[in-house]
Amino acid sequence: MKSPIRLSICSLFVVFLFIACSNGEDDNSKDANSNANNVPTGIPDTEESGKTDLITLSEAMTVGIETKALNLTNLADKIQVPSHIKVNEQQLIRVGANVTGRIVEVNVELGDSVDAGTTLAKLSSPELTTAQLAYLRAHSMTVLNERAAKRAKLLLDADVIGTAELQRRDAELQVSRAELSAAKDQLRLLGVYENAVSDLVKRGQILPSVGISSPKSGIIIERNVVAGQVVQPSDQLFKVADLSTVWAVGDVPEHIASNVMAGQHVEIQVPALGNIVLDALIIYVSDTVNPQTRTVMVRTVVENQDRKLKPGMLASMRIIETPQEQLVIPESAVVRELNKDYVYLDRGNYSYLRVPVELGPEIGNLRPVISGLSVGQQIVVDGAFHIDSERKLDRKE
């Protein structure tokens, strides 16, 4: 038989061993739970965060997606400046009176089409009367002196007069002819032309008025005279313009004026004519800057055979710069998020990688690439928005 003391000691040892094992299991359980509860939430896995810009689609989802290899393209930027339509001043005639007088008749209205030589108005003037009288006197003296010279020659042949008398009469004839020529020139300056001068000599009557004629064919675009008005030679009475061509005049800001030169192509759009785009060449670039607007004036000539372009119309001028070779992508390839531009690279096997890019302003639906891409890379040019939508859905899941 075993003693009671040994049995008690064995029993106590077993109890202590059981309690120690139980405490160890509880501590391990608590530590495990504590570690599970203390893991920070919302911290992305490094490997996973690198994949947020990569998306792999199924074959069916890639229908309609188009990719293209990047290459260099000759691209010409366009400078857009305000402009307006103006009369071609090389085809503009300003008509005024040649002498002080009173307008007795006006024969044309605004918008009338006139030919060269058409009488626009008639003018009566005391100077005109004086000039006509001087011409008639000079003409009469010339006729008399011509007859006297002929008679003197006959008398010299008959030995009635000497040579000195013939020479005197010839000299008088030369003087009268010079006076007649000067009087005729004066009439021409006053607007009395050859036919009217001949009629003046035949009838021997003073013309009551003289016509103010158009020296060139065109359209009456300005009339500043009425019957009964007293006018001076400095007064501008009519403007006659050939509107088959007009000027388009633009104002280029001075800081980009150095990029503009004669011979460059421009596109001109007039809002009043809708979507019609007119092509022209710059024929003149001003050498000075307008101090009020800080702009440089440029001028082009535009055909206007149908006369739809009216002087004074507002227009928009796009100046096409010299083409330069650049890396460009279509606007449809760009997706924008948080004010940044991205494109999708084709990685093969229906996988696409979103990469950030820096792009220049749009030029004809193309965006110049400043950084982020290189020649030869295959990018998505159509369907980028669809890929980006699938990428966002995949991230939410």
CATH number (3.40.50.720, 3.40.50.360, 1.10.3290.10, 1.10.287.470) of 126-189 reads: 1.10.287.470
What six digits make up the tokens of 380?
A: 């998505």
294: left (phi over 0), alpha (psi -120 to 50) or beta: left
Measure the CA–CA gap between 20 and 309, rounded to whole angstroms. Answer: 105
SS3 299: strand
pLDDT of residue 168: 87
Place of tokens 């007039």: 270
Which helix (DSSP H) or strand (DSSP E) does residue 29 occupy? Answer: helix 4-37
- Write out the chain's pLDDT in tens, 397 residues: 444 444 444 444 444 444 444 444 444 443 434 333 333 333 333 344 445 788 888 888 888 888 988 888 876 667 888 999 999 999 999 999 888 899 999 999 999 999 998 999 999 888 888 888 888 888 889 889 888 888 888 888 887 788 888 888 889 889 998 998 898 888 887 777 777 777 778 777 788 888 888 989 999 999 999 999 999 988 999 999 999 999 999 999 998 888 888 888 888 999 998 878 888 999 999 999 999 999 999 999 999 988 899 999 999 998 877 667 778 888 989 999 888 999 999 988 889 999 999 988 777 788 888 899 998 899 999 988 888 888 888 776 6
Which letter does DSSP use for residue 321 in this model? P
- Asked, colleague to colleague, whether 54-76+325-396 and 126-189 share their fold, the answer is no
Q: Taking the alpha carbons of 93, 237, 218, 200 in that order, is the dihedral positive or negative?
A: negative
Burial of residue 13, with CB atoms counted within 10 A of its CB: 0-12 exposed, 13-18 middle, 19 or more buried: exposed
CB 313 within 8 A of CB 84: yes
Residue type, 155: L
Cross-strand pairs, 95: 238
Extents of the domains making up the chain: 54-76+325-396, 81-89+242-322, 126-189
Could you please state the CATH topology (level 3) that the domain comprising 81-89+242-322 is classified under: Elongation Factor Tu (Ef-tu); domain 3 (2.40.30)
7 contact partners, CB below 8 Å, separation of at least 6:
none
Q: What is the four-CA torsion angle of 32, 37, 41, 43, rounded to 10 degrees?
A: -30
Q: In the Cβ-directed half-sphere of 357, how many Cα atoms lie within 13 Å?
A: 27
CB 382 within 8 A of CB 332: yes
Rg, C-alpha atoms of the chain: 49
pLDDT of residue 236: 92
Q: In the Cβ-directed half-sphere of 169, how many Cα atoms lie within 13 Å?
A: 19
pLDDT of residue 75: 67
SS3 83: strand
pLDDT of residue 283: 93
**What predicted TM-score, i.e. pTM, was given to this entire model?**
0.58
Class of domain 54-76+325-396: mainly beta
311 contact partners, CB below 8 Å, separation of at least 6:
85, 86, 87, 221, 241, 243, 246
Measure the CA–CA gap between 266 and 244, rounded to whole angstroms. Answer: 19
Q: Taking the alpha carbons of 98, 102, 104, 106 in that order, is the dihedral positive or negative?
A: positive
What six digits make up the tokens of 197?
A: 């001068």
327: number of Cβ within 10 Å: 17
